[in-house]
Amino acid sequence: MLNEFVLTHQDELARRCGARVYQRNPGTATNVMQGIETFIRQLVATLQTEEEGARQKNFQLVGDKGGVEMRSDIGDAAALTGKDLLRQGMQIHEVVHHYGDVCQAITDMAIEHGVQASVDEYRILNRCLDNAIAHAVSEFSFHRDAVTAQESVLLSNARTGEFLLELRKLLGTASLAFSATRTGSLPVNGATGAILERTLQQIGKLIEDFSADLLGAPSANMLEVFSLSGLIEEVATTAAPAARDYACPLAVPPVDRALGLRGNRDLIFAALVNLLQRAFAFYPPAAEVTLTAYASGERIRIDILSQCGAAPDGAAPGAPDNSKGHETDLALARRFVASSDGVITTRVLDGAYMFAISLPRHAMPT
């Protein structure tokens, strides 16, 4: 079986992958190689949980079988690898090669040892690779764009500094010309007056050019960035009594404290509490509800997942259960999230249902 084969030969697989990586990039750091080893261990665990039919563990390790974007252990580790590859100065195609090395090494060694993997095992391998590549590329791209944006800010600040220096110099010249005209009773239409006039014209042109640059740049959002982890902690505390009343266990994995949101915090908070209460009321008692918040490329994802096996009366999540109130509540939550450039979608998964909230990603000020 593939999981036993990979488990037995994981050190040799990591060595072969490392040889490929070092051949392309001799200066690759150790932490990048640790990302490969982590992926191999997670692959073994995923194959084992699939064989055991442990659906909840499988969700946590690799996500949904249908390719729905959601938080997973493989995705989290791959995101860190993508960030590390950027720090190493690698290009985005290297991110894909990085995981392609793992697939190639497993295939080569399986052939060498005469191991026949089943179609399902190869399907799981491809699902793990697809998930890892998607998260690694997204994180790589996000941080690369962030670096570019920071460089743009530095360039803009340098231009502003140059503008202020030039403006200060011209104002100094204009002040001297005006003082000379006033104290010396010089005619305004004389040589000194001409200097003053020319300097004022230069100041006007300088301001006009600088204003044109500003109008050509995207306007800054004046809303403050707030902590995602702080928001989730407050939402979980607020929703806890409702979870107890409906006998639905509420799980809230830790949130990266470096992640931030920019928007209307009160409305996002109200939308999340609304959706959690809806999940508690809509699904049967003892159905565990998980509130997960994480980064996915340029977006923040907040997933409300219910492991309920089957929705009552075969209904899909988000569908009105013949109740005008439920339909109105969901529409209101969507409007609240949309006010901060976010969207809410509903997903039907394998034995689970999910409200997926997507919002623009920001970093907390340091």
DSSP state string for 284-351: PTT-EEEEEEEEETTEEEEEEEEE-SS-GGGPPTTS--S-HHHHHHHHHHHHHHHTTT-EEEEEE-SS
Residues 230 and 355 in one domain: yes
Sign of CA dihedral 58, 60, 61, 63: positive
**Amino acid letter, 337:** V
Task: Please determine, for residue 363, whether its predicted confidence score (pLDDT) is greater than 70.
Answer: yes
Among 22, 39, 27, CA closest to 82: 39
Distance in angstroms (rounded) separating the CA atoms of residues 82 and 35: 9
Name the band, by pLDDT with cuts 50, 70 and 90, for residue 50: confident
What is the token pair recorded at 210? Answer: 């600088």
Residues 17 and 134 in one domain: yes
Residues 15 and 126 in one domain: yes
Residues 235 and 277 in one domain: yes
Residues 232 and 168 in one domain: no
Residues 67 and 173 in one domain: no
DSSP letter for 353, please.
E
Give the rounded distance of the alpha carbon of 142 from its chain centre.
7
Token look-up 């640790």 returns 34
Name the band, by pLDDT with cuts 50, 70 and 90, for residue 173: confident
Task: Tell which of 103, 123, 147 closes a domain.
Answer: 147
Structure-model confidence comparison of residues 302 and 187, the more confident one: 302
Residues 302 and 325 in one domain: yes
> Which segment of 90-104, 283-297, 344-358 scores lowest on mean pLDDT?
90-104
CB atoms within 10 A of CB 157: 10
| Number of domains composing the chain | 3
Residues 155 and 205 in one domain: yes
Residues 77 and 61 in one domain: yes
Alpha helices in 88-227 (DSSP H): 92-112, 119-183, 191-216
Among 188, 272, 162, CA closest to 228: 272
Residues 10 and 143 in one domain: yes
Residues 245 and 304 in one domain: yes
Q: State how beta strands 250-251 and 288-296 pair.
A: parallel
SS3 labels along 237-259: HHHHHHHHHCCCCEECCCCCCCE
Structure-model confidence comparison of residues 347 and 179, the more confident one: 347
pTM, entire model: 0.56
Instruction: Name the CA dihedral angle for 245, 249, 254, 260, rounded to a multiple of 10 degrees.
Output: -50
Token look-up 């740049």 returns 217
Task: Tell which of 97, 122, 147 closes a domain.
Answer: 147
Residues 255 and 357 in one domain: yes
Structure-model confidence comparison of residues 81 and 362, the more confident one: 362
Residue 182 to residues 178, 179, 187, 237: CA-CA distances in angstroms? 6, 5, 9, 71
DSSP letter for 190, please.
S
What would the pLDDT profile of 124-151 be if each residue is shown by its tens digit?
Answer: 888 888 888 888 887 777 777 666 666 6
Q: CA 142, 38, 71: angle at the middle one, nearest 5?
A: 50
Q: The domain that contains 264 carries what CATH number?
A: 3.30.565.10
Domain that holds residue 82: 2-147
φ/ψ of 339, rounded to 5, equals -65, -20
Stated as kind and residue range, the H or E segment containing 236 is: helix 228-245
Task: Tell which of 216, 235, 264 closes a domain.
Answer: 216
What would the pLDDT profile of 244-256 be if each residue is shown by its tens digit?
Answer: 888 888 999 999 9
Name the band, by pLDDT with cuts 50, 70 and 90, for residue 353: confident
What is the side-by-side strand order in the sheet with 225-227? Answer: 225-227, 259-262, 362-363
Distance in angstroms (rounded) separating the CA atoms of residues 361 and 229: 13
